[in-house]
Amino acid sequence: MDAYAANHFVKDIWYFAGLLSDIKPDGVKAFSLAGEPIVLAREGDTVFALRDICPHRAAPLSAGCVKSGTVECPYHGWTFGLRDGQCKSIPALPEDSDMDVERISVRTYEVRQAGPLIWVYLRSDPKDTRPPKIDPPQIDLPRDKPSLDDGVKLGCHIDHAVIGLMDPAHGPYVHRQWWWRSAKSVHEKAKDFAPRERGFAMVAHSPSSNSFAYKILGGKPVTEITFRLPAIRTEEITIGKRKVLSYTALIPIDETHTEIRQLFFTDHPTFRLLSPLMGGFARTFLRQDSDMVDLQQKGLKHDPRLMLIEDADTQAKWYYALKKAWAKSNATGEPFVHPVKPCTLRWRS
């Protein structure tokens, strides 16, 4: 188990930090990533990220406001450049003060925006000023505005949350309900997997369904589920020319808290119509997972040895292998060696 116990955060990678619409125009929002307090500040449609601790007396800048290219601290009004984090003004200084305020600065983080998605780069070495070595994952959204938006905070390390997310065997137990499945519906499955950029995919397949469902949707759906480091899962359902994208991002708040954000983007009219209903299902699922994580914490408190079995837990093993390979390549500068090979996994669920 020790090889899998590496409870470290994936670094030198882009983390999903939310949607542009999460932040009011010219507003600020607190964001916590791997124990680091960050303020997301929006000016127009551009988002900036700075350390959420004022270098003066530690007030959170996320309680302040955005003012002409700076964020203003709520305590004594010091302002910091959104781009460079440099202090621009200290209102308490007399007019003729010769204090060089620009020598004071607050750390900034690289931000990228792709459509409505905001990404923040987490570095292993905060002093490293080289440009990020990779781009955020390319995710093709059928629409910019999500049809569904839900989230839940889990009381566990992100590794347990990720493994819970990709675990195919808990469905019949944790998500047992009349409208989904019963213990009797458990059967053996065989799914093809293939490596993807810093991740892997359960390659496109047609989910079991009947022709009536296909008729409503206007074609035979094809689903591909992809997982990418650090913790982005997408399920892309293609029905004819339309697409439903289920987007799940896990964000490590700190060592013992993880946020799950679940979004659905679709240009499929029936799905959009059904989204309130789908939202109810998604919420039920997330709450069930969250309750199980809370239960699991009771056992984990005692730091027991854990197991991962073939093939039901193989994806969890791949997750650890990916993390390890990514960390190794960053530490040594050697190329990333992808640990996943194409294969078929079989399990009962």
Query: Pick from 19, 54, 286, 316: which binds ligand FES (CB under 6 A)?
Result: 54
For 98, residues 6+ apart whose C-beta sits below 8 A from its C-beta are: none
Residue 69 main-chain phi, psi, to 5 deg: 75, 5
Q: What is the DSSP letter of 24?
A: -
Look at residues 55, 99, 103 and name the one whose alpha carbon lies nearest to residue 76.
Answer: 55
The stretch among 52-60, 143-151, 278-286, 312-320 that binds ligand FES (CB under 6 A) is 52-60
Given 3-state DSSP classes, what are the helix, strand and coil percentages for the chain, each rounded to the nearest 5? 25, 35, 40
196's contact among Fe ion, ligand FES, none, with CB below 5 to 8 A by partner kind, is none
Decide: 69 and 79 in contact? Cβ < 8 Å.
no
- Least CB distance to ligand FES at residue 57 (A): 3
Question: How many other C-beta atoms can be found within 10 angstroms of the C-beta atom of residue 228?
Answer: 20
Residues 72-111 that bind ligand FES (CB under 6 A): 73, 75-76, 78
65 binds ligand FES per the rule CB under 6 A:
no
Residues in the chain: 349
78's contact among Fe ion, ligand FES, none, with CB below 5 to 8 A by partner kind, is ligand FES
- Least CB distance to ligand FES at residue 47 (A): 21
Counting other chains too, the contacts that 135-138 makes at CB distance below 8 Å and 24 or more residues apart are 135/14, 136/14, 136/112, 137/14, 137/197, 137/198, 137/228, 137/232, 138/114
59's contact among ligand FES, Fe ion, none, with CB below 5 to 8 A by partner kind, is ligand FES
56's contact among ligand FES, Fe ion, none, with CB below 5 to 8 A by partner kind, is ligand FES
The stretch among 12-20, 51-59, 136-144, 339-347 that binds ligand FES (CB under 6 A) is 51-59
- Least CB distance to ligand FES at residue 62 (A): 12
- Least CB distance to ligand FES at residue 90 (A): 8
Which residues sit at the interface with ligand FES, rule CB under 6 A? Answer: 54, 56-57, 59, 73, 75-76, 78
